Structure formats: structure tokens, C-alpha cells
Amino acid sequence: MGTAIVGLLLAGAVALIIRSMIRDKKKGKSLQCGADCSHCGGHCH
């Protein structure tokens, strides 16, 4: 039972992380340059 609870908590955390990444991508933020295109040469867009 404990394994199932920990598994569900991990799955929930992963789902929240993925959701956050999708939202950031839709807002134009990039994981490669941390949403600061001035230091990555403007390759974010």
C-alpha cells in the first residue's frame, strides 16, 4: 500500500512539472536559455 501511495505522489509531481513546462513553452520561454534570449543569441524563437 505504501508503494502505491509513493507512486501516486511521484506521478502527480511529474504531471505538475510537465504541465509547468508546457505552460512556459506556450508563453515563449525556453529551457535552453532560461527565457533570457539576450544571452543565448536570440535562438529562443
Q: pLDDT tens digits for 11-36?
A: 999 999 999 988 887 877 666 655 55
- Predicted pLDDT at 17: 93
Q: How confident is the model at residue 8 (pLDDT cuts 50, 70, 90)?
A: very high
- Predicted pLDDT at 11: 97
Q: Quick count: other Cβ atoms within 10 Å of Cβ 1?
A: 5
Tally of domains within the chain: 1
Structural domain of residue 19, as residue ranges? 1-45
Q: Kindly state the cell numbers that stand for 23.
A: 505552460
What b/e readout covers 8-44, taking b as 16+ CB neighbours within 10 angstroms?
Answer: eeeeeeeeeeeeeeeeeeeeeeeeeeeeebeeeeeeb
pLDDT at 42 over 60: no
Q: Kindly state the cell numbers that stand for 32.
A: 535552453
- Predicted pLDDT at 45: 52
Helix (H) or strand (E) holding 20: helix 2-26
